[in-house]
């Protein structure tokens, strides 16, 4: 049975939209549909190629005019007019969002260590404006309804036969928020069986209350190094100044959550972006 990455796709769509558009986002529904569900409007078709486990797969994203215009409007801070036709600015905004979504999916999938979908990479192969209802050969087309600050917009993703086994569970009426709540319930149910110290100390009612905090967002940062400087040195700095830090190249980097050190890791490169590989959390070192 193929590994299921449908929840990863949903989560990264939501996370990316919240991050780039500065809104609250939630997937209301995601269903397998037919081409005629597109309607008569134009779409921005962003084609992407995923490589994993010695094979390739093509994903096609179709972003209707109403959704693409909303993306650009929010990326500009909501200070411009909401457009009713697709132009180059809307196309560029959509392409940036899809690229970020794909990169986040790849990073998350690789972190899971799935045996049948590993060493995943992606690239955007094309981006064009098309008439939505004239597209053919959409093998497995999903329609996602996404709420951005309670305003619902549609997105379409088409998967080929290679990727379909990994995403079949996308066809569901459950939102990412509901999936997260379900997962948290499972974690809470397993905790007492594993002898969880928290569960034994707080009691069942308190664990239920604690579950309400699981979706609180925390800011993760990685500290390259520190240095104590005199004020007279700081005010003398100019462009091009090199500041030597106390951190050695071979030493692990501090991982902070909301400014509090919670572990250490080492810097890595993931799809051209900086990342951090966790070496240990708290006092528990990972070998």
What's the pLDDT tens digit per position in 25-39? 999 999 988 766 666
pLDDT at 135: 62
In a domain, 163, yes or no: yes
Identify whether residues 190 and 97 lie together within a single domain. Answer: no
> Does the pLDDT of residue 186 top 60, yes or no?
no
Helix (H, G, I), strand (E, B) or coil at 198: helix
Identify whether residues 182 and 265 lie together within a single domain. Answer: no
Mean pLDDT of 262-270: 85
Count of domains forming the chain:
3
pLDDT at 248: 80
- Residue where a domain stops, chosen among 142, 174, 206: 174
Identify whether residues 104 and 56 lie together within a single domain. Answer: yes
> Does the pLDDT of residue 176 top 70, yes or no?
no
CA–CA distance, 247 with 96 (Å, rounded to integer): 35
- Residue where a domain stops, chosen among 145, 174, 203: 174
For residue 107, count CB atoms less than 10 angstroms from its CB and return exposed for 0-12, middle for 13-18, buried for 19 or more.
middle
Mean pLDDT of 256-262: 83
Identify whether residues 167 and 275 lie together within a single domain. Answer: no
Domain that holds residue 199: 175-216
pLDDT in tens, 84-118: 899 999 999 999 999 999 999 998 888 888 888 88
In a domain, 1, yes or no: no
Instruction: Give the CA-trace dihedral at 274, 124, 54, 116, to 10 degrees.
Output: 70
pLDDT in tens, 10-20: 999 999 999 88
> Does the pLDDT of residue 150 top 70, yes or no?
yes
Identify whether residues 73 and 102 lie together within a single domain. Answer: yes
Residue 179 contacts residue 188 (beta carbons within 8 Å): no
> Does the pLDDT of residue 206 top 80, yes or no?
no
Question: What contacts 83, CB < 8 A, 6 or more positions away?
Answer: 69, 72, 73, 90
pLDDT in tens, 245-256: 877 877 888 888
pLDDT at 50: 93
pTM summary value = 0.61
* Mean pLDDT across the chain: 81
What ranges in 22-171 are assigned the alpha helix state H? Answer: 65-75, 88-112, 164-167
> Does the pLDDT of residue 189 top 60, yes or no?
no
Q: Give percent above pLDDT 90 in the chain.
A: 31
Helix (H, G, I), strand (E, B) or coil at 173: coil
Helix (H, G, I), strand (E, B) or coil at 240: coil
- CATH number of the domain at 264, please: 2.30.330.10
Helix (H, G, I), strand (E, B) or coil at 170: helix
- Residue where a domain stops, chosen among 162, 195, 216: 216
Q: Pick the residue with more confidence: 85 or 181?
A: 85
> Does the pLDDT of residue 281 top 80, yes or no?
yes
> Does the pLDDT of residue 285 top 80, yes or no?
no
Give the confidence band of 193 by pLDDT, cuts at 50, 70, 90: very low
pLDDT in tens, 31-76: 988 766 666 678 999 999 999 878 899 999 999 999 999 999 998 8
Q: Pick the residue with more confidence: 141 or 179?
A: 141
pLDDT in tens, 212-239: 777 788 888 888 888 888 888 889 888 9
């Amino acid at each position: 049975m193929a590994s299921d990455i449908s929840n990863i796709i949903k989560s990264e769509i939501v996370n990316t939209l919240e991050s780039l558009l500065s809104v609250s986002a939630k997937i209301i529904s995601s269903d397998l549909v037919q081409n005629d569900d597109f309607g008569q409007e134009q779409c921005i078709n962003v084609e992407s190629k995923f490589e994993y486990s010695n094979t390739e797969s093509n994903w096609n994203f179709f972003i209707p005019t109403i959704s693409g215009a909303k993306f650009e409007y929010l990326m500009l801070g909501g200070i411009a007019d909401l457009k009713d036709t697709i132009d180059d600015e809307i196309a560029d905004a959509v392409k940036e969002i899809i690229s970020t979504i794909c990169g986040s999916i790849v990073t998350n999938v690789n972190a899971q260590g799935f045996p049948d979908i590993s060493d995943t990479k992606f690239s955007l192969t094309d981006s064009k404006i098309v008439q939505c209802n004239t597209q053919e050969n959409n093998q497995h087309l999903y329609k996602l309804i996404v709420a951005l600050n309670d305003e619902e917009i549609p997105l379409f993703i088409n998967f080929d036969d290679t990727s379909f086994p990994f995403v079949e569970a996308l066809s569901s009426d459950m939102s990412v928020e509901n999936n997260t709540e379900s997962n948290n319930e499972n974690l809470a149910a397993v905790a007492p069986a594993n002898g969880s110290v928290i569960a034994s100390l707080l009691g069942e009612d308190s664990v239920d209350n604690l579950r309400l905090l699981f979706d609180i967002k925390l800011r993760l940062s990685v500290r390259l190094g520190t240095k104590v400087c005199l004020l007279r040195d700081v005010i003398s700095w100019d462009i091009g100044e090199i500041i030597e830090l106390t951190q050695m190249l071979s030493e692990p980097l501090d991982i902070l959550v909301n400014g509090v050190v919670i572990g250490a890791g080492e810097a890595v490169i993931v799809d051209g972006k900086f990342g951090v590989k966790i070496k240990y959390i708290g006092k528990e070192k990972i070998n």
